[in-house]
Structure 1
Amino acid sequence: MKKTLLWGALATATAMSPAFAQDVKIVLNEEADVLEPCMATRSNVGRITMQNINETLTYLDIKGGTGLQPKLAESWTQNEDGSWRFVLRQGVTFSDGTTFDAKDVKHSFDRAMDPAITCEVPRYFGGMTVSAEVVDDYTIDFKADPVQPILPLLLTLLTIVPEETPVEFIREPVGTGPFALTEWTPGQQIVLTARDDYWGDKPAVTTATYLFRADPAVRAAMVATGEADIAPSISALDATNAATDFSYLDSETVYMRPDTTIKPFDDVRVRKAVNMAIDREAFLGTLVPEGTLLATAVYPPPTLGWNPDVKVWAYDPDGAKALLEEAKAEGVPVDTPITIVGRTANFPNNVEILEAIQQMLQDVGLTVEVKFYEVAEFEGIYSKPYPEGRGPQLVTAMHDNSKGDPSFSMYFKYASDGRQSGISDPKVDDLINRAQAATGDERAALWKELQAYLHDEVVADVLLFHMVSFSRVAERLDWAPTMATNSMLPLSDIKFK
């Protein structure tokens, strides 16, 4: 009979010698509402679970800059029919003591794609049909229609669970990673403990405790006073200590999504007016730090197919007023109250930023309120099916794409049936489908064309900032943030001085 997760993990913790214990405390900006492995692409879950409890077949090495690397897959090759064959690592066990093999991989993929549990993973596989077929105990094929040249990169998002895992959200995640869950006290803390039977290199960290504080100043102070070791996200105002504070351009893009099926956002003039009413430059060096880039896509500039010819909307309140007056004269209900929707503690100064945007929109004649939601309730607004009876909304969010390809953004953000799309446009759907199946220069050209079309003609959203983030790290640690820190924080990267 299998041991339960917590029993096995606690036994591991008891076996460790206190003399060699290296504990860290990490204070995050928002609590994890779930620890379900297939939700690990969501930042508040991924920073705890991804590559710590649950691992993936492949891994994109952003810290070392070595590109796509093996994890639970030792190698992969593309077959003549365009499918991909993965040879899996042997001698790997899950934290419940069971052995890892190809059946676990197939179950993990099928489970994540099952609509019965509404995982995050399927949104990255939109516009394609993908199936997993077990070849033998340590070989598995993935076949995609249309053929996907970056499928090994897409699989950096598929967290692996045992084949016995039910097709329902679980509270106690089981994985092959170097850590196991040993405590979860909602509202207080989550504790992970290093496994003695991990297949890979033993991490320097033996126990990680996650704490949650919404106020960035409080998070910074906790590291300063020794109550925590890492605050991955603090505000620029609090980043005042050169010995402990790090700034970095992360992969998060802040944007606002109008739903074009709801009046008045079904009229492109209104969407243009909203973009023209916002003085983006005014935020730089004030509510967002120096070095922040103004966005023209929902992914950052290093991404394949970035289009430098797409320009940020110029601040033009008079032009915005003129567009609204023109639309109003033709019967568009521009006086309808609009709600700016935000996620509590999503990023530093988000309250002040959204209130400033509210005022800018009111100044051009729109009626606007701001409402914030905790993460679980926010997800019900952010992802389909959208709430019935909703009024016009500007849903504000941060989107992370550190993978280097627009595929990790475009389908679920902009395709007609994308899970977080506010538009339905046949040309957008066609460009996405062709770009995802293309390679080389053709792929880059199609993404460039789509970026320009979405920004300049469709006006699909209100793009704001590619964020600069700040972290505070205790001096006893040898660790620094990377572009991926907002989405995952592998404990194995942490060393001690």
Structure 2
Amino acid sequence: MDNRLALLCGAALSCLALPALAADTDVTIVLNEELETLEPCMSSQSNIGRVLLQNISETMTELDPSNGSLMPRLATSWEETDDATWRFHLREGVTFSDGSAFDAEDVKHSVERTLSDQLTCEIGAKYFGGMAITPTVVDAHTIDIASDPAQPILPLLMSTLTIVPSETPMEFTRDPVGTGPYELTEYNVGQNITLTRRDGYWGDAPTVTKASYVFRTDDAVRAAMVQTGEADIAPLISQTDATNEATDFAYPNSETTYLRIDALTPPLDDLRVRQALNMAVDREAFLGTLIPEGAEIATHMTVPSTLGADEDLAVPAYDPEGARALLEEARADGVPVDTEILLLGRLGNFPNVTEVMEALQSMFADAGFNVKLQMVEVAEWVKYYSKPFAAGDTPALVQAMHDNNRGDPVFSMYFKYACDGLQSGICDEELDADIAKATGTPGDGRAAEWRKVFARAHDISADVFLFHMVGFSRVSERLDFTPTIATNSELQLSQIEFN
């Protein structure tokens, strides 16, 4: 350990028991936050997906981030048998890491488990909300999947659903079993996770034999660990640490930062208060300072490349005096605008997140809001992010990042904005109807319907949108690996080679 890393570790109190790099084909990956679960049906959460997705837990189809095409994975082909049903032909000769054979019953169980009301799977709530999905086994390697309302992009939706054995119980697991090229061989909570290449994988054997994941919250520490050879990849570093052209990569990471408004709780249920929150934020002041200069100011929940994104939606003007006037108008009508509002942030979510949240608190105070900032670890944060919200009757703004790299708003808008959406802080009948219509619209008319959804969310100030983010990663020069837009939510070990 060099002197710089030693000093950083001393400041962060977080570099104990650094792993030594072992075999030439082993890698160490340093992540910015611990995983609160190793459950495959939670792999849509970025920190979990980076470890599990396509390493342990595979999907039926797979999106190619380089060109947006849909590739086979556990399904080799698929076709539409009627307007509401797709038939998937499954790969033969596949086994799970426990030795059991993969077949259509496993797919059926995985669909039913992910969408079950017996456990809250984020994949189910995030990607399959507002629809009924019915799997029907045709034979051991053929399955029909019907949707109501009909889903014209069902094969794309199946690129999100992780497949588990049919014996997997209806409860979260800490020992995931999958068909991927790796299996979990060690898990020391709060310290490290080890995945080891397994024999019997149906595809080509990847070059990486073992991956060790460690957790360090300090951005500079993660960057320094790769620089000194203590780690091979830091998927997330800050812009200020991305100083080495040989090892550091910048990429659009498909994440949108925002504040989720619990808009059913006074005073946040008043439109004028939500408008004032948006007017209180000087978004331009963050760019090139606490937020990378390459980030874009957001007016949508999803990135501008998403189907139906409307570039004409205006960024709320920074106007603290106007925000104060709206609050006074609401106060005169009896709205309890002086109520303390909880501003909840997620530690380690992105570089400088604490400083960003402190600046937002100050901006809200300048506009006349009474805001209390609380920064928490991810295991506590998720209790406020998904229903039932832990804040209860306390009005809250919950800082979050949302990742949609799949090109269609169906992966975002129901669970973020429908009345029954798992992470929706609002309930608006017109918005519900717009989401339902867009979700079931095929072909050329789909973009126009999603544009209506975005416009409605904007008009009712459903949330405080902040930025479409830029990611920075550091990769050891001993590796042949280039981060992409997918790196934020998955890090496939099979894509890593060695120089």
On whether the aligned pair clears a TM of 0.5, the verdict is: yes
Q: Report the Cα distance in structure 2 between the residues aligned to 1:120 and 1:47, rounded to whole angstroms.
A: 15
Corresponding residue for residue 443 of structure 2: 440
Mapped contact 2:32–2:216 kept (Cα < 8 A): yes
Q: Report the Cα distance in structure 1 between the residues aligned to 2:287 and 2:23, rounded to whole angstroms.
A: 46
Corresponding residue for residue 79 of structure 2: 77
Task: Name structure 1 gaps, 5 residues minimum.
Answer: 1-17
Corresponding residue for residue 210 of structure 2: 207
Q: Deviations over 1:287-313 (max 9, x none)?
A: 011110000111101111111110111
Which AA in structure 2 matches 1:254?
T
Give the alignment partner of residue 334 of structure 1, picking from 323, 334, 337.
337
Which AA in structure 2 matches 1:423?
I
Is 1:109 aligned to 2:97, yes or no? no
Corresponding residue for residue 472 of structure 1: 474
Q: Report the Cα distance in structure 2 between the residues aligned to 1:228 and 1:88, rounded to whole angstroms.
A: 37
SS in 1 for 2:82: coil
Q: Report the Cα distance in structure 2 between the residues aligned to 1:448 and 1:55, rounded to whole angstroms.
A: 32
Corresponding residue for residue 282 of structure 1: 285
Corresponding residue for residue 10 of structure 2: none
Q: Report the Cα distance in structure 2 between the residues aligned to 1:389 and 1:127, rounded to whole angstroms.
A: 24
Give the alignment partner of residue 432 of structure 2, picking from 416, 429, 434.
429
Instruction: Give the C-alpha shift of residue 445 in structure 1.
Output: 0.3
Mapped contact 1:21–1:206 kept (Cα < 8 A): no
Q: Percent of counterpart pairs with the same letter?
A: 60
Give the alignment partner of residue 483 of structure 1, picking from 480, 485, 490.
485
Which AA in structure 2 matches 1:24?
V
Corresponding residue for residue 387 of structure 1: 390
Give the alignment partner of residue 142 of structure 1, picking from 141, 145, 164.
145
TM value normalised by structure 2? 0.94
Q: Deviations over 1:160-206 (max 9, x none)?
A: 11111111111111100000111111111100011121100111111
TM value normalised by structure 1? 0.95
Mapped contact 1:21–1:207 kept (Cα < 8 A): no
Corresponding residue for residue 367 of structure 2: 364
Corresponding residue for residue 462 of structure 1: 464
Runs of 4+ in 1 over 6 A off after TM superposition: none
Mapped contact 1:58–1:69 kept (Cα < 8 A): yes
Q: Report the Cα distance in structure 1 between the residues aligned to 2:360 and 2:391, rounded to whole angstroms.
A: 26
SS in 2 for 1:156: coil
Corresponding residue for residue 219 of structure 1: 222
Corresponding residue for residue 197 of structure 2: 194
Is 1:86 aligned to 2:88, yes or no? yes
Q: Report the Cα distance in structure 1 between the residues aligned to 2:264 and 2:200, rounded to whole angstroms.
A: 53
SS in 2 for 1:307: coil
Mapped contact 1:56–1:155 kept (Cα < 8 A): yes
Corresponding residue for residue 36 of structure 2: 33
Q: Report the Cα distance in structure 1 between the residues aligned to 2:83 and 2:311, rounded to whole angstroms.
A: 36
Instruction: For 1:158-307, list aligned pairs within 5 A.
Output: 158-307=161-310
Deviates more, 1:19-28 or 1:203-212: 19-28
Corresponding residue for residue 496 of structure 1: 498
Instruction: Give the C-alpha shift of residue 441 in structure 1.
Output: 2.4
Q: Report the Cα distance in structure 1 between the residues aligned to 2:190 and 2:382, rounded to whole angstroms.
A: 19
Instruction: For 1:406-417, list aligned pairs within 5 A.
Output: 406-417=409-420
Mapped contact 2:84–2:149 kept (Cα < 8 A): no
Mapped contact 2:184–2:195 kept (Cα < 8 A): yes
Q: Report the Cα distance in structure 2 between the residues aligned to 1:269 and 1:459, rounded to whole angstroms.
A: 9
Instruction: Give the C-alpha shift of residue 333 in structure 1.
Output: 0.9
Instruction: Give the C-alpha shift of residue 82 in structure 1.
Output: 2.5
SS in 2 for 1:233: coil
Q: Report the Cα distance in structure 2 between the residues aligned to 1:98 and 1:152, rounded to whole angstroms.
A: 25
Corresponding residue for residue 15 of structure 2: none
Q: Deviations over 1:419-441 (max 9, x none)?
A: 11111111111111110110222
Q: Report the Cα distance in structure 2 between the residues aligned to 1:140 and 1:256, rounded to whole angstroms.
A: 40
Corresponding residue for residue 352 of structure 1: 355
Mapped contact 1:60–1:68 kept (Cα < 8 A): yes
SS in 1 for 2:494: helix
Q: Report the Cα distance in structure 2 between the residues aligned to 1:81 and 1:418, rounded to whole angstroms.
A: 25
Instruction: Give the C-alpha shift of residue 67 in structure 1.
Output: 1.1
Corresponding residue for residue 10 of structure 1: none
Deviates more, 1:173-182 or 1:112-121: 112-121
SS in 1 for 2:56: coil
Instruction: Give the C-alpha shift of residue 66 in structure 1.
Output: 5.3
Q: Report the Cα distance in structure 2 between the residues aligned to 1:284 and 1:431, rounded to whole angstroms.
A: 33
SS in 2 for 1:467: strand
Give the alignment partner of residue 118 of structure 1, picking from 117, 120, 133.
120
Give the alignment partner of residue 99 of structure 1, picking from 101, 104, 111.
101
Mapped contact 2:84–2:148 kept (Cα < 8 A): no
RMSD of equivalent CA atoms: 1.3
Give the alignment partner of residue 70 of structure 2, picking from 68, 71, 77.
68
Q: Report the Cα distance in structure 1 between the residues aligned to 2:390 and 2:217, rounded to whole angstroms.
A: 27
Which AA in structure 1 matches 2:56?
I
SS in 1 for 2:486: coil
Q: Report the Cα distance in structure 2 between the residues aligned to 1:207 and 1:389, rounded to whole angstroms.
A: 43
Corresponding residue for residue 451 of structure 1: 454
SS in 2 for 1:48: helix
Is 1:51 aligned to 2:54, yes or no? yes
Which AA in structure 1 matches 2:123?
V
Instruction: Give the C-alpha shift of residue 388 in structure 1.
Output: 6.3
Aligned residues: 478
Corresponding residue for residue 328 of structure 2: 325
SS in 2 for 1:132: strand
Q: Report the Cα distance in structure 2 between the residues aligned to 1:470 and 1:203, rounded to whole angstroms.
A: 25
Q: Deviations over 1:292-341 (max 9, x none)?
A: 00001111011111111101111111111111111111111111111111
